[in-house]
Amino acid sequence: MEIRLNKHLAQAGVASRREVDRMIVEGRIKVNGQVVQALGYKIDDQKDRVEVDGKRVERKEGMVYLIINKPPGFLVTMKDPLRRPTVQQLLPALKKRVFPVGRLDYDSEGLLLLTNDGELAHRLLHPRFKIQKTYLAEVKGIPALTQIARLEKGIYLDGKRTAPARFEKLRGGFKKSLFKVEIHEGRKREVRRMFEVIGHGVLHLKRIGFGGVRLGSLGSGKWRFLTRKEVDTLKKKAELI
């Protein structure tokens, strides 16, 4: 069957489609012995031989889904050339390779989803599906209601308006406030930058929800497999079932 190369590799558990596209451009992927650098390239997944970094890729059976409560001070990557702490160090020895779904800042903490299901990862990150992410943000001072309303309607970051979001003040004091923030975009440092625009920098940021999956009481640095119900919830939101 003819299929896009990035989708084939995502389904094989190599990486998300976005990451596979980067690998294609870098010339790390061969089809039938030839380097392919064209995005959108299609293959016959029954006949063509696909290699990544010189190793043949076979479609894997059995998907793995888990979450980590990422502590601050860990990079969301599986390898770091500078040997800084990464989320890989928080994982057990798994028989199957997994990769992070999306970003979580070095200084932030909370729920990080990892899987080898490249198609699900792609859809969870695609703007079309509007997958909700929930954060607790402790910020400097007390933002005015007009400022929060402005953030909820959308502000311009890098020349592009942010999507509508929801901000709920949970606690307010003279020096700092606590907000629950719900967004469905995945821009880099988006929550922090939104608060910076209105002059209230983020002191602490924690993600507590992703696509209906909740962090709950999972301890810092700990991990667990998702339940079947949680996996089905993610797949329904991603329109895979």
Active site residues: 105
Question: Is 224 in contact with 65 (CB distance < 8 Å)?
Answer: no
Residue in the block written with tokens 């990544």: 52
Tell me 164's DSSP state: P
Side-chain half-sphere CA neighbours of 205 within 13 A = 20
Element (H, E) at 233: helix 228-237
Q: Could you give the CA distance from residue 164 to residue 151 in angstroms, rounded to a whole number?
A: 8
Q: DSSP letters along 85-124, please?
A: -BGGGGS---SS--EE-S---TT-EEEEEEES-HHHHHHH
Asked whether the beta carbons of 19 and 99 are under 8 A apart, the reply is: yes
Question: Residue 144: what residue type?
Answer: A
Beta strands 133-140 and 99-100: pairing type? unpaired
